[in-house]
Amino acid sequence: MTTEPAEGHQATPPAQDPTARPERGLGRGLLAHRNFRLLLVGETTSKLGTSVTSVLLPLTAVGTLDASPFAVGLLTAAPWLPWLVLGLPAGAWVDRMRCRAVMLCCNLISAVLYASVPVAWWLGALTMGHLLAVALLAGAASVFFSTAYSAYLPSLVARSELLEGNAKLQTGDQTTRVAGPGLGGLVAQTVGSAPGLLLDALSFLVSSACLLRINAQEQRRAPQTRRIREEISDGLRFVVHDRYVRTVTVYGAALNLALAAYQAVQVVFLVRTVGAGPGLVGVLLACGGLGGVVGGLAATPLTRRFGTARGVLLIQLAAAPFTLLIPLTAPGARLSLFVVGSTVLMAGVVACNVVLVSFRQTYCPPELLGRVTATTLALNYSTIPLGAILAGTATTTLGARPTMWLVAVALIATTGVLGGSPVRGVRDLPQRQAHEHVAGG
């Protein structure tokens, strides 16, 4: 959901892999770039493991430990909670370190955490507290990994290739969201939900192996003598004072609030209001993932045709109205309304995310990228628990279908954040450093 924002690399370009240019092939784009291929394979494998775990972890809680609905809700929220505490300082710490080293460390920590679940199960010592601790600590590792990951890509590819790179990475991510739940269900049926978590642990090791084979050199980080608090303030100040980054951050937070509400109510809506069975629910939810794949593939050609700023606005204006089809879903032929609405919704979300993440990577000064990324992600992800809680409360009070109508209206309303901002008045988002926002004061 995410996410996911002076030219950041012209004055002080990061070191590039000297073999990257000669091995590019005609018509293949970044797929002919060895370092990018390694990153893409590693991250797609890791995301597939994470998507499988999104099914196996709650199944372990419910099927193995007979957890209560409240405990399962805590388990769902746990990976997002570290963003509220670690999101801002993570950016300052990442800006002091090599991004690849941070990513490798986080991968290894996550692998050990998820491998501990089947070990505890085999020993007969698995508890709900253990699962919650794993989800919480893995979420903390994800805070640092996500921050370093966004700051690492510009050291692998040229600035002009960031849009293509993010599009391919997002397409891989969305593909795993389609395949992961089904694979997770199959794994749970064949080997069991707790033992199946070894697959996620293995996926982190594959990601680490790919990272170790990347031979691009990162830009050296200058020694830091300032306090962490002062560096965090730099990131916050940049986000608050820069009108483009501020707009993108507010849009992301509003969109995540509405998307979290949508995802919190959609299963209840489909099962209890529409009357869909578990198998049909899985198929219907996979349609959103397919839409995300389409959005990832369409982002680059659309923005080349219309411009990055105008393209984002057009994508939002075209996709948002389809959200109103979702509350109209009913048994029979009207199930197609959910398919069309959810597919177009996620296509628009992912396409916009590709563009806006690429904008942040090219627009922010390199020395601030980790802090700006962490600040925007912390603000964006902080609204996810709130959206889920609001949706749950509204569903209990009003019912699933009225709540889905409210959610649809909220998703459409997020378009107003971009439409009422400086984004509306330009064809392309700027690609210049805004150093005037870096200094304190």
Give a three-class secondary structure readout of 265-299. Answer: HHHHHHHHHCCCCHHHHHHHHHHHHHHHHHHHHHH
Confidence (pLDDT) at 271:
78
Confidence (pLDDT) at 112:
96
Q: For the chain, what percent of residues have pLDDT higher than 70?
A: 88
Confidence (pLDDT) at 28:
61
Q: Which of 16-25, 142-151, 222-231, 427-436 has the lowest mean pLDDT?
A: 16-25
Q: 85-119 pLDDT, tens per residue?
A: 887 788 778 777 888 899 999 999 999 999 999 99
Q: Which helix (H) or strand (E) holds 351?
A: helix 335-363
Find the mean pLDDT for residues 213-230: 68
Find the mean pLDDT for residues 348-377: 83
Residue 27 pLDDT more than 70?
no
In the chain the domains, ranked by start, together with CATH numbers, are 6-218 (1.20.1250.20), 227-441 (1.20.1250.20)
Confidence (pLDDT) at 219:
63
Contact status, residue 344 vs residue 418, Cβ threshold 8 Å: no
Find the mean pLDDT for residues 358-387: 81
Q: How confident is the model at residue 161 (pLDDT cuts 50, 70, 90)?
A: confident
Confidence (pLDDT) at 7:
29
Summary count for the chain: helices (H), strands (E): 17, 0
Find the mean pLDDT for residues 73-78: 75
Residue 434 pLDDT more than 70?
no
For the beta carbon of residue 111, count every other beta carbon within 10 angstroms. 24
* Closest to 270 measured CA to CA, from 259, 261, 260, 280: 280
Residue 4 pLDDT more than 50?
no
Confidence (pLDDT) at 64:
83
Contact status, residue 200 vs residue 60, Cβ threshold 8 Å: no
Residue 431 pLDDT more than 90?
no
Confidence (pLDDT) at 116:
95
The backbone torsions φ and ψ at residue 295, rounded to the nearest 5 degrees and listed phi first, read: -60, -40
Higher pLDDT, 15 or 159: 159
Confidence (pLDDT) at 326:
95
Name residue 174's amino acid. Q
State the Cα–Cα distance between residues 264 and 276, nearest whole angstrom: 16
Q: How confident is the model at residue 354 (pLDDT cuts 50, 70, 90)?
A: confident
Q: Which two tokens stand for residue 36?
A: 């990018």
Residue 23 pLDDT more than 50?
no
Q: How confident is the model at residue 222 (pLDDT cuts 50, 70, 90)?
A: low
In sequence order, what are the residues at sequence separation of 6 or more whose Cβ sits closer than 8 angstroms to the Cβ of residue 251?
A: 356, 414, 417, 418, 421
Find the mean pLDDT for residues 280-300: 81
In sequence order, what are the residues at sequence separation of 6 or more whose Cβ sits closer than 8 angstroms to the Cβ of residue 441?
A: none
State the Cα–Cα distance between residues 323 and 36, nearest whole angstrom: 35
Name residue 278's amino acid. P
For the beta carbon of residue 281, count every other beta carbon within 10 angstroms. 16
Q: How confident is the model at residue 240 (pLDDT cuts 50, 70, 90)?
A: confident
Q: 127-138 pLDDT, tens per residue?
A: 999 999 999 999
Q: How confident is the model at residue 25 (pLDDT cuts 50, 70, 90)?
A: very low
Higher pLDDT, 192 or 406: 406
State the Cα–Cα distance between residues 303 and 309, nearest whole angstrom: 8
Give the chain's mean pLDDT.
81
Confidence (pLDDT) at 439:
39
Residue 216 pLDDT more than 50?
yes
Confidence (pLDDT) at 278:
58
Residue 414 pLDDT more than 50?
yes
State the Cα–Cα distance between residues 290 and 178, nearest whole angstrom: 6
Confidence (pLDDT) at 432:
62
Confidence (pLDDT) at 373:
78
Higher pLDDT, 272 or 247: 247
Residue 126 pLDDT more than 70?
yes
Q: 315-339 pLDDT, tens per residue?
A: 999 999 999 999 999 999 999 999 9
Find the mean pLDDT for residues 171-195: 79
State the Cα–Cα distance between residues 39 and 167, nearest whole angstrom: 13
State the Cα–Cα distance between residues 257 and 254, nearest whole angstrom: 5
Confidence (pLDDT) at 328:
96
Residue 351 pLDDT more than 60?
yes
Confidence (pLDDT) at 24:
44
Q: Which of 1-10, 88-97, 193-202 has the lowest mean pLDDT?
A: 1-10
Confidence (pLDDT) at 73:
66
